[in-house]
Structure 1
Amino acid sequence: MTSPQHDVAALRESTDTLLAALEKHADGPTGPDALLTEPSRLPGWTRGHVLAHLARNADALVNVLEGRPMYVSAEARDADIERDAPRPLAAHLDDLRDTARRLDEVLARYAGGDGDAWERTVELRNGVTDRVGAIPFRRQVEVELHHLDLGLGHGPDALPAAFTERLIAYLARRFSGNAEVPATELRTDDGRSRRTGRAAEPGGPDGLGDATGPVVVTGSATALACWLAGRTPGTGLTASTGTLPVLPPL
C-alpha cells in the first residue's frame, strides 16, 4: 500500500509531465492557441475546456482540504469552465502552474502534521466522501486521464505502470456492487484478477455472466484501465461471453 506522501510525489510527476507537454506546444511554430479551440476527446469539450477543468478541479480540492464546499454549485462549476476555456494557452499554463502549486502547498501542510490528519474524512461532490490521504491519487487520476483527453500525442502507453495498476483497482471498487454492471472478473495478461460489478447470482436477468459466473475480461493492464475509465471501447480486450459489458460513465 502506498503512502499519501508517495502519492503526492507521483502527482507532482504527472503534473510536471502535462505541463512540459503543453509548454512544447506553446513554443511551437504554429499558433498554439488554435489547438485549444479544437475538440478534445471528451464529447462537447474543446481542449480549452479540459485545461480549464483541470485548473478549477485543483482549486476545488484545495477547498475540500481546507474545509469548504468543493464547488459553490454545479452551475458555478460549469460556468467557470466555460468562462476559462477560450483563454490563450499561456494563460492556461499560468493557471495550471498556480493551482498545482496551491494544492501542493496544502498537501504539504498535511504531510507536516500528525499521521491522523491523512485519515480525516472530507466531502467531495454529490455527497461522496473520502479520506484526505486519498486526495492525491484522485487528483492524479484527473491529471492523467485528462492528459489523454487532450489528444496531443500522450496515449495510453504513456500512462505510468504503477498508476495503471492502481487505476484498475480504483475503478473496480467504484463499479463494485453497481447493478448496471454484470458480475465481471478483470484479468490481466500476467494472471492477476479483480472482481467488479454486481455479485454473480444463479439465474441472473441478463445472461451476461450472472447465471454461469462472471464475465471474464482479459487484456493488458493498460487496455483494462483505459476501458474502465471510458477512454477506449475496449481495444485489445477479450470477453468470455464474446461481448464486453457496457459500463456506465464515470
Structure 2
Amino acid sequence: MDQSDVTALLVNEQTDRLMTTAASLTDEDVRGASLCEGWSRGHVLAHVARNAEGIARAARAATTGSGEAMYAGQAERDAEIEAGARRSARELVDDVRHTAAELAPYLEAIHPHELKDVTFERTPGGERVYAARLPFMRLREVVIHHIDLDAGFGFEDIGNDDLSELFLRDAAKRLGATPSAPGLTIDTAEGDHLVVGDGGTDVTGPRAGMLRWLLRQDGRDVTSEDALPELPKGF
C-alpha cells in the first residue's frame, strides 16, 4: 500500500472509529492529558477539527486553483486550537463531526494519480506540499490523534497491516529527513526492514511498538543492544 492508494472511504472509516471514542468522553475527560506533550484531549480534538478545515482549503486549492493555503499561519493555527480546547466535550465532538462531514466531498474529488505534480502552500509563502498526499495526510491525522486521546484505542488497534506498515514507512522517512535524527536500522516482528541515516543503531520490536517509539518516544516495546537513542520531537 502506498500513500496514493489511500481513499476517502478509508478516511471516513477511520473517522467513524475516532468519533465513537470521542463521543464516549466526558467534560472531565477532555481536560485530561493526551499523548501529545502539553496537550489535553480537548487540544487533540480541536486540532483534528481545524485540520479538516485546512485539508479542505488545500483540496480546493489543488482542484480549483483557488490559491488558498492550508493554514493562514502557524500562530493563527495554534491560537484556534487553544481556543477550541476549552470547549465542552459535546461541542468538541460536534466540531470534529461537522468539519469531517464538510471535508468528505473534497477528499472524494482528490485523485492522487491526476495530481502528482500539483502543490499547495501549507502557510502563505511557506512549504509547498504535493496535493496527491492529502488523503493520506488526513488519514494519518485521524488515526494517530485517535491514539493520542489515550482512551482505549492504541497502536495495536489500527487493525490493518497495510495501514500500520504505511505509517511506519512514513515515520521512518520523515525521521530520516530531520537533521538531528539518529542513524537507525529498524526490524519489526512483522518483517519490516527500514534504514534511517547511517543505520548505526539496531532497533527491534513489534510494528505497533516501533510506531509508539518513533511517534511518541515511548520505547516500552522495542529493544536495542545499546541504549535507545533520543529521537527529535515533532518530526
| TM bracket (short chain) | 0.7 to 0.9
1:205 equivalent in structure 2:
none
Report what 1:204 is aligned to: none
Q: In structure 2, what residue type is equivalent to 1:144?
A: V
Pairing 1:101-112 to 2, within 5 Å after superposition: 101-111=101-111
Q: Distance in 2 between matches of 1:127 and 1:144?
A: 26
Partner of 2:48: 54
Which of 184, 187, 209 is 1:223 aligned to?
209
* Residues 192 and 81 of structure 1: CA distance in aligned 2, closer, same or farther (over 3 Å): closer
Identity %: 30
Q: Deviations over 1:111-146 (max 9, x none)?
A: 4xx942354222325833332221111111111121
CA distance, structure 2, for counterparts of residue 127 and residue 82 of structure 1: 22
Structure 2: gaps of 5 or more residues: 62-67
User: Is 1:150 aligned to residue 149 of structure 2?
Assistant: yes
**In 2: Cα distance, 1:109 partner to 1:179 partner:** 35
What secondary structure is seen at the aligned counterpart in 1 of 2:24? helix
* CA separation of 1:227 and 1:121: change in aligned 2, threshold 3 A: same
- What is aligned with 2:121? 123
For residue 194 of structure 1, what is the aligned residue in structure 2? 194
Q: TM-score, normalised by structure 2?
A: 0.87
Query: What CA distance in whole angstroms lies between the structure 2 residues aligned with 1:53 and 1:38?
Result: 15
CA distance in 1, matches of 2:36, 2:140: 15
Within a 5 Å distance, the mapping from 1:82-121 to structure 2 comes to 82-111=82-111, 115-117=113-115, 119-121=117-119
**Alignment partners' CA distance in 1, 2:77 and 2:113:** 32
* Match of residue 158 from structure 2: 159
Q: CA contact under 8 A between 2:48 and 2:141: conserved in structure 1?
A: yes
- Give structure 1 stretches of 5+ with no counterpart: 26-31, 201-212
RMSD value, Cα: 2.2
Highest Rg: 1 or 2? 1
Question: Match for residue 210 of structure 1?
Answer: none
Structure-2 change in CA distance of 1:118 and 1:105 (3 Å) = farther
Partner in structure 1 of residue 59 of structure 2? 65
What is the identity, as a one-letter code, of the residue corresponding to 1:116?
E
Q: Counterpart amino acid of 2:100?
A: A
Instruction: Count residues in correspondence.
Output: 226
SS of aligned partner of 1:110:
coil
Matches of 2:182 and 2:74, distance apart in 1 = 30
Task: Assess if the C-alpha contact under 8 Å between 1:52 and 1:81 holds in 2.
Answer: yes
Give the distance between the partners of 2:134 and 2:34, measured in 1 at CA. Answer: 25
Correspondence for 1:248: 232
Match of 2:36 in 1: 42
The code of the aligned residue for 1:123 comes to E
CA contact 1:181–1:245 (8 Å) conserved in 2: no
2:223 to 238, 246, 249: 238
